[in-house]
Amino acid sequence: MANLRLMITLITVLVYLLPSFAKSSESTKVITLPKSLNLTLLTDPSTISTASHDYGNVTTVTPGGVLCPSSSAEIFRLLRYAANGETIFQVAARSQGHSLNGQASVSGGVVINMTCLADITVSEDKEYADVAGGTLWVDVLRETAEQGVSPVSWTDYLHISVGGTLSNAGIGGQMFRNGPQISNVLELDEKAKWFKMLYSDFTAFTKDQESLISMNNDTGVDYVEGQLLMSNGIVDTSFFPPSDQSKVADLVKNHSIIYVLEVAKYYDDPTVPTTVQVIDKLTKTLSYLSGFISMHDVSYFDFLNRVQVEEDKLRSLALWEVPHPWLNLYVPKTQILDFHNGVVKDILLKQNSTSGVALFYPTNRNKWDNRMSAMIPDEDIFYVVGLLQSASSQNVQEVESVNEAIIRFCKDSGIKIKQYLMHFTRKEDWVEHFGSKWGAFSKRKDLFDPKKLLSPGQDIF
């Protein structure tokens, strides 16, 4: 199989990467552009309404117009005018709007609809793919898989843009092996053995996860994640056979928390025998609850696109376009037990109810490039904790207050977390977040966006 390197069209991803150093204005204005620019801004109510909200569904930030560019040259012209025209305004890049707190929005400025430039071309020698920043990862997967090549580090959800995830590193269950999306591109195997195992003991659960991410390609797996099933939340047993689903539900009821280890091993026809041997050895050495393992044999595409099934289900129940007050954290390995006891047991489990998915899995620090602006704990292994809750307009503030209680507990307890997809509103919080990288980060902003026009939704400084 050939390796594939992803070449991202520079201008279409650049505006994702530059955070803003200026607060958005509360007032909303309509942007008008001179005819000489030959640019058409969309200002109709439907377009403006869509651009005013994101997946988080907890903020409303209304732009003055939306540009659907037909070329990178149009983006250049817009940025030049925004910085030097009669009226200076800010600009934000948006594709699927999968941010949580208005990071892809701009009050009174211009939102660039990056999906208008979505495009992917695989080179004839299959050494690289030229991909526009607004292209969806699912389209990258579909196009490259047909030609036997593919990036190998993926987010769980693929209906988001290349530029959007790369600007935040791009994390998922393969990154312990290959680093986040921004770090690596590897070869494609055709199929996946996908299985889940249940644990009642947190220490055994984390020990097995850490063991799996320490193995090499030949003896280990390609994907490791974990989830929490809590008695005060929704217990999804659909991955297990119908005959076992009531048993799984009873486990959660009896133990209050059940830990789900989710693993995948990629393979093709020539590697079937060795894959079977690897899985057989692993299932005999891991410490999951006896009898509580379920395995599916699926295509590579279906495995990576698995979250789409969940989206379709939630959309059919009118539960997709609701507030999403998510909290994403990186937690040092040495403090993960304290985090579990103080947050999962003493905060989350004591709520009347929880709604959504709780992800819990480790990754290797040496797969991350220290030159990137993403901030991670200073330990060889750290955990990704994603509390991906859904809410209603009636209880969204209650869920956000729980998130604040979690952050406060970690700070008071000395647990050195780092937030992912965070949205701070105070400069001192950003300075604390970036730590020793703050000086270099500020200089890059001054160099590449001296007038502070790009990505105001980040609300930095």
Q: Which residues are catalytic?
A: 98, 156, 225
Tokens (6 digits) for 435: 């730590």
d(CA 441, CA 330): 20
Instruction: Find residue 226's DSSP bridge partners.
Output: 261
Closest C-alpha to 420, from 367, 369, 357, 376: 376
Burial class (CB in 10 A: 0-12, 13-18, 19+), 456: buried
First vs last Cα of the chain: how many Å apart?
Answer: 46
Burial class (CB in 10 A: 0-12, 13-18, 19+), 169: buried
Instruction: Find residue 131's DSSP bridge partners.
Output: 8, 120
Work out the angle between the directed axes of helices 427-434 and 438-448 (0-180°, nearest 10). 110
Instruction: Give DSSP secondary structure letters for 141-183.
Output: HHHHHTTT-------S--SSBHHHHHTT----TTHHHH-STTT
Closest C-alpha to 223, from 191, 201, 183: 191
